[in-house]
Amino acid sequence: MSNKQNQWIVGINAVAAAVEHDAENVREVLLEAGAKNPRIVEIESSARRRDIDVRRVNQQALDGVAGGLRHQGAVARYAAAKTWDEDELEGLVEAAEGKALLLVLDGVQDPHNLGACLRSAAAAGVTAVVIPKDKAVQVNATVRKTSAGAADSVPVVRVTNLSRTLRDLQKLGVWIYGLAGEADASLYALDLRGNVALVLGGEADGLRRLTREHCDQLVTIPMPGVDVAGGVESLNVSVAAGVTLFEAVRQRQG
């Protein structure tokens, strides 16, 4: 993991979450000198309790490290984001004891979208988020900032071959539902209470052909306000992720 030796996490929520959930990977925390924000004071004491080096620096130093991202007076140097290997996915599914909820993202390119998806995933208590290693954004500083710390609390599993992973999940008893605008079946007609993987495509092209072929069923989110003939734009991928995940949560709490 040495190539990630100097990853920076930026922003109060992201830094607080890293210190809390993944302290062993936080190398140092830089906080704005003289900042009176109580959250910053909280981060400082939390980091010191965990024996993480804390330095108070001026705003210019933070601006330099944050590289244009809004840091709110807090950044942290990170050794490496905890990444989950694909061979750990089976253990995560089995540990969920028949109630695994997976979010599979097929080629999301925009770091803000991935960050927002992770945030919804964390709130929904997903088992794991699966992303391909190629042709998709990875968990970088912008993703971490947008996810408000969710990138550290949700297992993100990077896989080499998404189709093969979907096949392996099916063998573990996971039902694979892909979201496609032109599908006939409604999301709301599904039973999402067991082992379920919800598969969403990237911003431009949606689900790739091979990914579609490995889904048990394609479904759509009914949108009464959309004129299909007029080609009104479909939902943003992070909004669609939130809608589908929380439909599963609603059913599971029923």
Contact criterion met (CB below 8 Å) for 254 and 204:
no
Confirm whether residue 73 is marked as ligand binding.
no
What's the pTM? 0.72
What pLDDT does residue 204 have? 77
Q: What is the mean pLDDT of the chain?
A: 88
Q: Please, what are the domains in the chain?
A: 2-78 (3.30.1330.30), 86-253 (3.40.1280.10)
What pLDDT does residue 4 have? 42
What residues have CB less than 8 Å from 158, skipping those under 6 apart? 83, 84, 86, 131, 132, 133, 138
Average pLDDT over residues 14-23: 88
Q: Write out pLDDT tens, residues 38-74.
A: 999 999 999 999 989 999 999 999 999 888 889 999 9
- Residue bearing the bigger pLDDT, 130 or 27: 130
User: Measured between alpha carbons, how far is 155 from 146 in angstroms, rounded to an integer?
Assistant: 16
Confirm whether residue 201 is marked as ligand binding.
yes
Confirm whether residue 166 is marked as ligand binding.
no
